[in-house]
Chain A
């Protein structure tokens, strides 16, 4: 048997004056491994007051984004062994207001997502009778963009989003913005670019690439942001 210590961020605004870290121990077989989410569920059996979000438990829904040993990720697909430590520190995603324990208020994150109009806009006068067709090449441009599950691991690891969550769209929102800018069926390219062309929305990205480092889906928001910047630049010159 081996003992793993979990130090978990606890905060219940109804009773706690300020947040604290609480230690738990979990016993595991020598060669046993489990996902952090599974461990948290076991800790919740010890202490039912521990609160966190989870749903699909297989990296599809994006509910259980946490900061584990300093790095954002999904609890359900991050194994305890991959953290290579007998002490695991679990905190809520950084930068967002904490509702309770590991549960954060995602309002600002969703607001920025909403701002980029994450839906197809097509106001062409003669809509096709059945559907908007795309060539395989046009469709391929959306790969690496549409897979985002909005877990917020990227935006909450981005310093630019920490400092200006009300003005900087953040990596997740910008990935979606580019997903529609790159879509051959979308006709609102100019309006979309107009709405991003201020000093904050896109240009607060300084290419730190924390977003790329943490995305559990292996997506590359920095690259998408680079494409948006080039579209804005080529429009300006």
Chain B
């Protein structure tokens, strides 16, 4: 069996399920945001903060950000293991991407907190 430490989940199947599940969350979130924007021609600061003031919207957004973290982590790892054959180079790139994903998640958390 191929063993590679940098997988996200416990096994290949686990990674696969996480990737698909996070994709579904991200897709519904995107659809929701787009329909909200289409249905709200007069978008003001009040409307926007009102939306994100709802508890369910905070939870949903946090869920989407977590989905982004998981999806990006596994997805980028897959792309890098395909195309970057130098392990040091791949490690550095994976590190940068992972740090960026964690930063997005944390920034998102604090922004939501402040609304």
Find out whether the CB atom of A197 lies under 8 angstroms from the CB atom of B11.
yes
Min CB–CB distance B88 → chain A (angstroms):
18
Chain B positions within 8 Å of A71 at CB level: none
Interchain CB contact (< 8 A) of A167 among B2, B13, B14, B15: B2
For A166-207 the 0/1 string (1 means CB < 8 A from B) is 010000000000000000000000000011111111111000
Whether a CB of chain B sits under 8 angstroms from the CB of A232 is: yes
Contacts A233-B16, A236-B17; is A198 near B11 (CB within 8 Å)? yes
For B13-27 the 0/1 string (1 means CB < 8 A from A) is 111110000000000
Contacts A163-B82, A164-B82, A233-B13; is A199 near B1 (CB within 8 Å)? no
Please, how many angstroms separate the alpha-carbon atoms of A196 and B7 in the complex? 15
Within 8 A of A (CB), among B62-87: 78, 81-83
Find out whether the CB atom of B12 lies under 8 angstroms from the CB atom of A233.
no
Chain B positions within 8 Å of A163 at CB level: 81-83
Find out whether the CB atom of A199 lies under 8 angstroms from the CB atom of B7.
yes
Find out whether the CB atom of B82 lies under 8 angstroms from the CB atom of A197.
no
Whether a CB of chain A sits under 8 angstroms from the CB of B4 is: yes
Contacts A167-B2, A233-B17, A236-B17; is A198 near B12 (CB within 8 Å)? yes
Find out whether the CB atom of A200 lies under 8 angstroms from the CB atom of B4.
yes
7 smallest beta-carbon distances between A and B, as pairs: A163-B82, A203-B12, A198-B2, A236-B13, A199-B7, A232-B13, A198-B12
Binding site for A on B (CB under 8 A): 1-4, 7, 11-17, 78, 81-83
Q: Could you write out 19 A-B pairs with CB less than 8 Å apart?
A: A159-B82, A163-B82, A194-B1, A197-B1, A197-B11, A198-B4, A199-B2, A199-B4, A200-B2, A200-B12, A203-B13, A203-B15, A204-B78, A232-B16, A233-B16, A233-B17, A236-B11, A236-B13, A236-B17
